Copies of this chain bind each other. A is one copy, B any other.
Amino acid sequence: MKKNSSCPLHYTMNLIGTKWKPLVLFHLLDGSLRSGVLQKKVPGISNKMFTQTIRELEKDGLVSRKIFPVVPPKVEYKLTDRGNSLENILISLDTWGLEDYKN
């Protein structure tokens, strides 16, 4: 049963309602990852889209970026507390896909 109809869902969708954002966030649930590793975990994403997506997530405070001043470059991304608060939703979306695919 729906709780109200003014619909904060609209707000949520403006933050994470794209094809790639939930996928990127999902793969960070287990902890921080190097940029290249994270990108490889998202099948089909181009380099450009990956950068663009992670920049927006960073801007919105859902992931944080840690730069190691080494050569060649090393960058790690991880969920912020705000990003991590999406954990249950991300897992539910994943589980739903798994169940639905069976049918």
- Residues of chain A at the chain B interface (Cβ within 8 Å): 1-5, 7-15, 17-19, 22-23, 26-27, 29-30, 41, 43, 82, 85-86, 88-101, 103
B85-A96 in contact (CB<8A) = yes
Q: What are the residues of chain B within 8 A of A19 when measuring CB–CB?
A: 13-14, 17-18
Closest B residue to A11 by CB, please name it.
B97
- Nearest opposing residue in chain B for A17, CB measure: B19
Besides A3-B95, A85-B96, 20 other A-B contacts (C-beta < 8 A): A1-B29, A1-B30, A2-B29, A3-B91, A3-B98, A7-B43, A8-B98, A8-B101, A9-B97, A11-B97, A12-B94, A12-B97, A13-B22, A13-B23, A14-B19, A17-B19, A17-B22, A85-B100, A89-B89, A89-B92
Complex Cα–Cα for A8 and B95 (A): 7
In the bound complex, what is the Cα–Cα distance between A86 and B96 (angstroms)? 8
Chain B residue at minimum C-beta to C-beta distance from A81: B103
Show 12 residue pairs from A and B whose CB-CB distance is below 8 angstroms, ordered by the A residue: A2-B91, A3-B94, A3-B95, A3-B98, A7-B23, A7-B26, A8-B95, A9-B22, A9-B93, A10-B97, A13-B19, A85-B100
